[in-house]
Amino acid sequence: MSSPLIIALDHASLEAALPLVDQLDPQRCRLKVGKELFVRSGPQALEALHRRGFEVFLDLKFHDIPNTVAAAVHAAADHGVWMVNVHASGGRAMMRAARDVLDRHALNTHLIAVTVLTSMDDEALAETGVARLAGEQALHLAGLARESGMDGVVCSALEAGDVAAQCGHEFLRVTPGIRPAFAQRDDQSRVMTPLEALQAGSTHLVIGRPVTRAEDPMAALVEIEQELSNAGA
Ligand SMILES: O=c1ccn([C@@H]2O[C@H](COP(=O)(O)O)[C@@H](O)[C@H]2O)c(=O)[nH]1
């Protein structure tokens, strides 16, 4: 599957997500299951998506003590998901524990770490006591994530090029905060269009509301695909 697109299924339940899922093609995108859908529909949602042939990113952003996070990552990987994530700000020991549990059980789920949420700008980050600018902090956490054995990071596309330069091109740059020209910014701060994001060095583009809340979600997805293919991306 070579498409960089990951559609965020931020739906209230599996039943609410299926009408869209059943129009999508596993050859054209992967799917992301986040907190709301997982809390309401649980592993059943993962099973339903896997049965339809989709690779699934389970986006629960674990952030806890190392033992707890490692156990949660193990449980997620046991469901056969393609990708799972933790917060890099949980620190080296926490990320290392998550890496080790996957290695010990020979589980090949991609393990990535969230750097700085794409909804946050410099001011919001400063309020949490972090003195660095958002882009600098994202790069700092990407370095820590790389040293701690992560396969990549979640960052904004604005940082993707610098992350690749610092951590290597094999290190995944999964970027939400993707906003096609036709879409609203919503609660996202550090944004780029799909084409800009790929050109800036993203390996995967996470897109939610611009598709899922569009009047015609499939038309929105096709428009994004055309933007990427017209530019040879
Ligand atoms: O820094 C982050 C980390 C995760 N997300 C998630 O990605 C999608 C984005 O959805 P949109 O509707 O396209 O804004 C959503 O599920 C977030 O939980 C993120 O946005 N930023």
Residue spans of the domains in the chain: they are 5-230
Backbone φ/ψ region at 4: left (φ over 0), alpha (ψ -120 to 50), beta: alpha
- Which tokens hold the place of 170? 């094999």
What 3-state DSSP class applies to 198?
Answer: helix
77 and 43 in contact (C-beta within 8 Å)? no
Q: Which residues are annotated as a binding site for substrate?
A: 10, 32, 59-68, 118, 179, 188, 208-209
Please say if the pLDDT value at position 181 is more than 80.
yes
Position 230 scores a pLDDT of 76
Residue nearest to atom 18 of ligand 1 (CA): 34
Q: Does CATH number 3.20.20.70 belong to domain 5-230? A: yes
DSSP labels, 116-185:
S-TT--HHHHHHTT--S-HHHHHHHHHHHHHHTT-SEEE--HHHHHHHHHHH-TTSEEEE--B--TTS--
Nearest to 99 by CA among 55, 140, 141, 146: 146
Q: Determine if the pTM surpasses 0.90.
A: yes
Ligand 1, residues at Cβ distance < 6 Å: 8, 10, 34, 114, 117-118, 154, 176-177, 186, 188, 206-210
Q: What is the DSSP letter of 4?
A: -
Q: How many residues does the chain have?
A: 233
Position 2 scores a pLDDT of 85
Beta bridge partners of 173: 153
Catalytic residue status for 61: yes
pLDDT digits (tens, 9 = 90+) for 88-112: 999 999 999 999 999 999 999 999 9
Nearest to 34 by CA among 15, 68, 62, 53: 62
Q: Which residues are annotated as a binding site?
A: 10, 32, 59-68, 118, 179, 188, 208-209
Candidates 28, 40, 50, 61; catalytic one: 61
160 and 140 in contact (C-beta within 8 Å)? no
Closest-lying ligand 1 atom to the alpha carbon of residue 187: 14
pLDDT digits (tens, 9 = 90+) for 208-224: 999 999 999 999 999 99
* Mean pLDDT of the 124-148 span: 98
Position 160 scores a pLDDT of 98
Position 62 scores a pLDDT of 98
pLDDT band at 156 (very low <50, low <70, confident <90, very high): very high
Closest-lying ligand 1 atom to the alpha carbon of residue 209: 12
d(CA 165, CA 159) in angstroms, rounded, equals 10
- Which tokens hold the place of 133? 């600018």
Please say if the pLDDT value at position 1 is more than 80.
no
How far from chain centre, in Å, is Cα 228? 19
Share of the chain above pLDDT 70, in %: 98
* Mean pLDDT of the 131-143 span: 98
131 and 156 in contact (C-beta within 8 Å)? no
Contacts of 95 (CB under 8 A, 6+ apart): 86, 88, 113, 144, 145, 148, 149, 150
pLDDT digits (tens, 9 = 90+) for 38-86: 999 999 999 999 999 999 999 999 999 999 999 999 999 999 999 999 9
How far from chain centre, in Å, is Cα 85? 8
Position 233 scores a pLDDT of 64
Position 9 scores a pLDDT of 98
